[in-house]
Amino acid sequence: MDRNPSSKAKFIRKYNPDLINFGFVNGGSEAEPRAQCVECGLTLSNEALKPSKLKRHLETKHPKLIGKPVDYFKRKDDGLQMQRRSIVSLTGDAKCALKASYLVARRVAQSKKAFTIAEELVLPAAVDMCREMIGEAAAKKLKTIPLSNDIVSHRIADIASDIEQQLLERIRKSPFFSLQLDESTDVTNAALLLVFVRYRWDSSLQEDILFCGELPTRATAEECFRCMDNYFTENGLDWQNCVGVCSDGAASMTGRHRGVIKQILDLAPEAKWTHCFLHRENLAKKMSPEFHEVMDVTVKTINFIKSNAVNSRCFAQLCEGMEADHVQLLYHSEVRWLSRGLVLTRIFELRNEIFSFLTDKKSPLAHHYTNATFIAKLAYLSDIFSLLNQLNISLQGRNSNIFFVADKVQAFQKKLSLWSKRAHEERLDMFPLLSDILESSPQVKISHSVSQHLSHLANKFAEYFPEDPREGHMWVVDPFSVDPTENDVALPSHLESQLLEVSTDSTLKGQWGKLDLGSFWIVVSKEYPLLALRAFKVLLPFTTTYLCESGFSTVATTKTKARSRLRASLEATLRVSLSPIPPRLDLIMSKRQAQKSAEDHL
C-alpha cells in the first residue's frame, strides 16, 4: 500500500447553502465550489469553505453587517448574479458589434462607396428600421457598432490582409499558376500595375487579384518588372511555377530585349506569352478607306450636336417630339472596345431626327443624311460592327481558355469568308439593317464595297490571329475522341500511353460531361498526375486581360475626384471588392482581440 501523502486524492469541500448567513455564496463551480463574499466580491479558495474562516472575514472586513438578516445577503447575492450576467452579456454584445463592423466594412468595399457612408447612412438607416420593426432596445444595440471612417478603413485592411494570406497559401500549394497584367493611370495620374493570377485550388481552377502596385515614376518595362519581382520575393512566390503571361501588345510589355514579358520569360522558362485576344480583335476590326468618310461624318455630327449644351438640349427635345427610342447621341472613343458599333447604331436609328435637326441649324452635314448611298453604308457599318461587338462580348468574361476563344475567333473568320462570297454575289440578307435600306432604295449598289471590306477584315483577322493555339492540344478538351496513334497530341511517349488509358476509362468518361475542363483534369490527376500537369499547363494561361480591364473600371469607380486621396487603402479596397475568397472573420477578430490584450499589458 502506497503511504505517500502526495498520492492521495485532493479533498474538495462542498458548499453549504447555510453559509449565506455569513454573506458568502458559491463563486466557483459545482465540481469545485469557492466562497465569494456578496458584499465585496472577494473570492476565496475551496479550503476557506469553513464557517470559522468565513465568520472571521465578516467580522474583520464587514463588522457593520454582523447581525444582518439572511434576506439582506440574499438581495446582495441577486445583485451579484445580475452583475455577472451583465458582464457576460456585454462581452457577447461587444463581439457581435465587432463582427458586424467587419461585415459592414466588407460590403462598403464591395459597393465601392466612400467609407463614411457606413456611419452617415448605413448605421442610421439600420437604427431607424430596427426601431420601427423590432423596438428601441434593438436600435440601441445597433448604435454600439463602431463604423467611423477610420474604423471602416482599418476593418477593410484587416480583411484584405487575411484574403491575401489565404491567396498566397493557395498559390504556393498550386503546382503552377499563370498571370495577366496591365498598367494604367487613375484619376490622380498615378501609374498603377494590376496583376491577376489563375491557379489550381481544391477541385477547380481559381482566378483572383494578385496585387495592385503603384509605379513610382514612369510605367517603363523596368519599373513594371521590378514591382512584380519585389512582390514575388517578399511573399515567397517562385517564378519557376509560372506557365503563362497575358498582356496587351504595348511596347513596354512586349519589347524584344527589355520588355516585361521578356524579363518574366527569362525567369520562368515554362511560361508562354499570350497576346490578349480582345486587344487583337480590336486591332483587327479596322475600317477600309472607302468607309472612312461615313465614320468622319458620324463623328462630326456627334460633335456638332453634343459639344454645344443648347444643341444637345434642343436635339433631345426634338427626339422626344418625334417619339424616338433615344434622345441622346453617344460619344465615340477609340479606346472603348464597343464604342464604334454602339455609336454607329445610335446614329442610324436617329438618322431622321438628325437630318431634321441639322437642316434646322443649316449645317452642311445635313445633305449626307439624304444620300441613299451614305445611309446604306451607315447601315452596313452598323450591322458589321454590331456583329464585331458580339464577338468581343463573347470573348470577355472569367475562366476562359484557349479552346473557347479560339473557337469563337475561328467561327467569325469563317463567317467573314462566307459573307464576302455572298456579298460578291450581291446577297446581303445577313445584314438586316442594310437589307431594309436596299429594299427601299434598290438603285443603291454597294455590294462590291461590302465584299472588299469583308475581305479586308478577313485579312486583318488572319494577320492578328496567325496561329491556332489549339493545335496539338485537342486531347485536353476531349481525351476520349483523340487517338494519339493517329493525331498529333504533342506529348512524349510515356504520356501518350497514359492518354490511351484515360481514353478507355469509362468511369472518367462518365465524369467528363458533368465537370468543366479544369475540374475534370483535377479528378484525372489522382490517377495520372503527370498527364494532368501537362493539361494544366494548357488550361491555366489567360487568354485576355479582361480581369485587368474590369479591375481598372473598379479603380475608376472607387478612386474618384472626391476620393483622390484614397491611396494607402486602394489596394485593400480592390482586394476585398474583387476577390472571391471569403475572409476568416473569426480568425481576424481573435487576432485583433489578442493584439489589444497584449497592448493592455504593456
User: Is 377 a member of any domain?
Assistant: yes
CA pair distance 279, 285, nearest whole angstrom: 10
* 10 and 159 inside one domain: no
**The pLDDT value given to residue 584:** 94
Per residue in 232-271, pLDDT tens?
Answer: 999 999 999 999 999 988 777 777 767 888 899 999 988 9
pLDDT at position 201, please? 93
The CA distance from 206 to 508, in Å, is: 22
d(CA 406, CA 273): 16
pLDDT value at residue 288: 75
Mean pLDDT of 317-326: 88
Looking at the structure, tell me whether residues 104 and 17 fall in a common domain.
Answer: no
Compute the residue count for the chain: 602
C-alpha cell at 52: 470559522
Q: If phi over 0 gives left and psi between -120 and 50 gives alpha, with beta otherwise, what is residue 243?
A: alpha
Is 74 inside a domain boundary? Answer: no
Domain boundary among 485, 517, 539: 539
- Sorting pLDDT into bands at 50, 70 and 90, what band is 601? very low
Is the model more confident about 430 or about 88?
Answer: 430
Under DSSP, is residue 43 helix (H, G, I), strand (E, B) or coil? strand
State the cell numbers at 164. Answer: 491575401
- Cβ neighbours around 276 below 10 Å, total: 24
CA 366 to chain centre: 47
Query: For 268-314, what is each residue's pLDDT tens digit?
Result: 988 999 999 998 988 888 777 778 888 899 999 999 998 889 989 99
Look at residue 78 and tell me if it is in a domain: no
Residues sharing a CB contact under 8 Å with residue 195, sequence separation 6 or more, in sequence order: 179, 180, 181, 209, 210, 211, 212, 213, 228, 231, 548
How open is the CA angle 166-523-516, to the nearest 5 degrees?
80
94 with 230, same domain? Answer: yes
Same domain, 294 and 360: yes
**Does residue 459 share a domain with residue 483?**
no
Chain position carrying cell 494577320: 463
With respect to residue 116, please indicate whether it lies within any of the assigned structural domains: yes
Nine-digit cell string for 550: 474590369
For 246, the grid coordinates are 497575358
Regarding whether 263 and 335 lie in a shared domain, the answer is: no
Q: How confident is the model at residue 484 (pLDDT cuts 50, 70, 90)?
A: confident
- Same domain membership, residue 425 and residue 495: no
Q: Which amino acid is at 447?
A: S
Are 256 and 367 part of one and the same domain?
no
pLDDT in tens, 209-242: 999 998 887 778 888 999 999 999 999 999 999 9
Kindly report which listed range (124-138, 453-467, 553-567) carries the lowest average pLDDT score: 553-567
The answer on 484 and 460 residing in a single domain is no
What does the radius of gyration of the chain's CA atoms come to, in whole angstroms?
36
Say which DSSP state 48 is in: G
Instruction: Taking the CA atoms of 39, 40, 46 and 49 in sequence, report the sign of the dihedral they define.
Output: negative
Decide if 73 is inside a domain: no
Q: Which pLDDT score, from 0 to 100, does residue 65 have? A: 82
Note the pLDDT of residue 522. 93
> What DSSP letter does each residue of 443-464 carry, written as one string?
T---HHHHHHHHHHHHHHHHHH
- What CATH number is given to the structural domain containing 19? 1.10.1170
The verdict on residue 496 lying in a domain is yes
- Read off φ and ψ for residue 43, nearest 5 degrees: -110, 125
Q: Which of 15-29, 80-94, 191-205, 476-490 has the least mean pLDDT? A: 80-94
Number of domains into which the chain is organized: 4
Cell of 437: 435600306
Same structural domain for residues 190 and 211? Answer: yes
Q: Is residue 269 part of a domain?
A: yes
459 in the same domain as 311: yes
Of the listed ranges 72-76, 368-372, 390-394, the least confidently predicted one is 72-76
Angle between helix 351-360 and helix 339-349 axes, rounded to 10 deg: 70
pLDDT > 90: percent of the chain:
49
Same domain membership, residue 594 and residue 557: yes
pLDDT tens profile 175-215: 999 999 999 888 888 889 999 999 999 989 999 999 999 88
The predicted model gives 169-175 an average pLDDT of 94
DSSP category for residue 564: T
Q: Which three cell numbers stand for residue 518?
A: 479544369
Among residues 442, 464, 486, the one where a domain terminates is 464
Domain that includes residue 22, residue range: 5-68
Query: Residue 121 pLDDT more than 90?
Result: yes
Question: Is residue 85 scored above 70 in pLDDT?
Answer: no
Q: Does residue 295 fall inside a structural domain?
A: yes
Beta bridge partners of 236: none
